[in-house]
Amino acid sequence: MASEENITGPRLIAELNDLLQLDFDAIGAYTVAIESVESVTYRETLEGFRRDHERHVRELTQLIEAEGGTPVEASHVPTGAFKLAVQALGAAGSDRSLILAFKANEGQAVEKYARHAERPHADKVAAVLRRAARDEEKHYEWAESRLKRLDAGPNTAVGKAEAVMETVHGKMADAIEGVERKAMEGVEKLRGN
């Protein structure tokens, strides 16, 4: 796409900071999950996924700084705390409940990264967003496959209930985080970016 069509300036900085906060949300939720999961295999997988999110943080931070912005090194307010609470509730049960909570949180990340990866960006930004979107798809697919093995797939009562929760959670978080993103964009405009 032509560079004049690409998202730049305050809008890009706000978008990247929104995704950066999403990754901080995820790192917190992963930490809760890793500390509570019973299966060693699941723990190792979740640790690998958390490393993906840590890489996202590094890459997004570099992009924000290259654009002249200041990275927001914190979770979303208040949705980050809600995501952490969802994961903590899941962690209080079995590995199945932990992965159900994980999938509900990961659903928003999959959708959000996919949406942003489709927007017009400079090549370097687009490459980072596409790679992160693939990571999120991989995390989500892993959770889905594990839940099927744990009798909590999409056709089970618990799987259907989780899908409803995931949808409501994702829409609520997107709406609140959208307001935050607009505020960040305004701040960046005031800063002269």
Q: What is the per-residue pLDDT across 83-139, written as a single tens digit (0 to 9) for each?
A: 777 887 787 789 999 999 989 889 999 999 999 999 999 999 999 999 999 999 999
Q: Do the domain assignments include residue 94? A: yes
pTM: 0.91
Q: Do the domain assignments include residue 193? A: no
* Identity at 128, one-letter amino acid code: V
> Which pLDDT belongs to residue 3?
46
Neighbours of 115 (CB within 10 A): 12
Is the pLDDT score of 39 beyond 90? Answer: yes
> Which pLDDT belongs to residue 75?
87
Q: Do the domain assignments include residue 23? A: yes
Is the pLDDT score of 174 beyond 70? Answer: yes
* Identity at 19, one-letter amino acid code: L
> Which pLDDT belongs to residue 86?
80
> Which pLDDT belongs to residue 90?
80
CA pair distance 30, 39, nearest whole angstrom: 14
In this predicted model, which residue has the larger pLDDT, 82 or 170?
Answer: 170
Q: Do the domain assignments include residue 26? A: yes
First to last CA, the chain: 22
When pLDDT is cut at 50, 70 and 90, the band that residue 1 belongs to is: very low
Provide the number of structural domains found in the chain.
Answer: 1
Is the pLDDT score of 166 beyond 50? Answer: yes
Token couple for 94: 């079995």
Mean pLDDT, range 41-69, rounded to an integer: 97
Please provide the average confidence, as pLDDT, over all residues in the chain.
91
CA pair distance 107, 121, nearest whole angstrom: 23
Is the pLDDT score of 4 beyond 70? Answer: no
Q: Do the domain assignments include residue 54? A: yes
User: Residue 164's domain spans which residues?
Assistant: 8-188
Q: Are 107 and 169 in contact (CB under 8 A)?
A: yes
Radius of gyration of the chain (CA): 17
pLDDT of 62-84, one tens digit each?
999 999 999 999 988 888 777 77
CA pair distance 90, 37, nearest whole angstrom: 10
Q: Do the domain assignments include residue 178? A: yes
> Which pLDDT belongs to residue 2?
44
Is the pLDDT score of 53 beyond 60? Answer: yes
Q: Do the domain assignments include residue 83? A: yes
CATH of the domain at 132: 1.20.1260.10
Mean pLDDT, range 37-47, rounded to an integer: 96
